[in-house]
């Protein structure tokens, strides 16, 4: 069976699957193309379906976001094709092509537009239950069971994997598992990591004292146009301060301020620790006492940092504990 306007040879099963929908669709109508849209828009429904079928048999398989763009365009341009879009995603899953959160949003909108409100609610409920289960297992330290559930799910996505990455990267003994997992899921399954994924990996490199790799990954994040957050800079700042590189820390702080981020208590605790690494107790105590004026409430962690630093330098006596 050939498809009008197709430059590919589609799979027979795929062509049959779409044939039952085409008989109910209107004839292809031209649509106006806004000037502010640069991505291609399909003016003919059958050409769009042919393009999808061609993508299925391409080698290598295109990334998920290209399928999302195509199927989203079909759903918006031809409102009566919700069933075709749902079937298209089903076909992708059967062929081992993973979906992401954008795919789920498109699917649920198609269900809603078709007035099948129970289907998106059930679909979303399954996702949330699985996500809660994965987070709970990771909090209990049962990472392997959580990973088993994710691998056995119909479509693992980044929200399920981030708690696993976070748990594996905290422990230096399991960080190599996180690196392997990252390679498997993001290179083989073609998932796209977000800032939470990269934060976990950057912290893992710092925990294992692989500081150059941590900053190298930070640069890759910027090249991917993923915006680092306060937690990202907090990890890198702590990494620099532990090495006593306060000049580099100040440069990083300037980058944070230019991005509109303000230092929090975790950042100040790292700076105080950095001063003690350089045996500069005077500036460490000065910064510590200036925090209330900066609107920062000091916690047990920063008190412990100051006490440990002074004791290490043998600059504190028992009665001085009450003066801090």
Locate 161 and state its tokens.
């994997």
CB-based burial label for 92 (10 Å; 0-12, 13-18, 19+): buried
Distance (Å) of CA 310 to CA 14, 25, 272: 72, 77, 11
Q: Rounded CA gap, 150 and 297, in Å?
A: 40
| CB contact at 8 A, 269 and 260 | no
287: its two tokens: 């910064």
DSSP character string of 112-131:
HHTT-THHHHHHHHHHHHHH
Q: What is the pLDDT along the chain (324 residues), one digit of tens a residue?
A: 333 333 333 333 444 444 333 333 333 333 333 344 344 445 577 788 888 888 888 878 888 888 888 888 888 877 777 778 878 877 787 777 767 667 777 877 777 776 655 555 555 555 656 666 677 777 777 777 777 767 655 555 677 788 888 888 988 898 988 888 888 776 655 567 788 889 999 999 999 999 999 999 999 999 988 889 999 999 999 999 999 899 999 999 999 999 999 999 999 999 999 999 999 989 999 999 999 999 999 999 999 999 999 888 887 665 455 556
């Amino acid at each position: 069976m050939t498809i009008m306007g197709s430059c590919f040879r589609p799979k027979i099963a795929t062509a049959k699957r779409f044939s039952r929908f085409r008989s109910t669709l209107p004839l292809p109508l031209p649509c106006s193309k806004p000037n502010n849209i640069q991505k291609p828009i399909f003016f003919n429904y059958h050409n769009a379906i042919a393009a999808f079928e061609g993508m299925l048999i391409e080698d290598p398989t295109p990334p998920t976001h290209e399928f999302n763009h195509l199927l989203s365009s079909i759903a918006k341009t031809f409102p009566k094709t919700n069933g075709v879009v749902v079937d298209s995603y089903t076909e992708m899953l059967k062929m081992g092509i993973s979906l992401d959160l954008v795919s789920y949003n498109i699917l649920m909108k198609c269900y809603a537009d078709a007035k099948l409100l129970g289907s998106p609610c059930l679909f979303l409920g399954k996702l949330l239950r699985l996500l809660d289960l994965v987070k709970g297992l990771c909090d209990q330290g049962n990472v392997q069971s959580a990973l088993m559930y994710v691998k056995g799910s119909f479509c693992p996505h980044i929200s399920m994997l981030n708690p696993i990455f976070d748990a594996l990267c905290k422990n230096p003994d399991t960080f190599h598992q996180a690196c392997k997992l990252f390679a498997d899921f993001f290179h083989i399954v073609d998932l796209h990591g977000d800032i939470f994924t990269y934060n976990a990996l950057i912290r893992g490199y710092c925990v294992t004292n692989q500081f150059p790799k941590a900053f190298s990954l930070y640069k890759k994040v910027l090249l991917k146009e993923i915006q680092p957050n306060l937690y990202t800079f907090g990890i890198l700042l702590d990494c620099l301060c532990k090495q006593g590189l306060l000049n580099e820390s100040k440069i990083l702080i300037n980058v944070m301020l230019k991005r509109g981020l303000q230092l929090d208590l975790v950042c100040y605790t790292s700076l105080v620790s950095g001063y003690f690494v350089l045996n500069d107790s005077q500036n460490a105590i000065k910064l510590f006492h200036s925090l209330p004026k900066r609107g920062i409430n000091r916690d047990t962690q920063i008190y412990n940092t100051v006490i440990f630093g002074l004791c290490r330098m043998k600059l504190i006596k028992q009665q001085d504990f009450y003066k801090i």
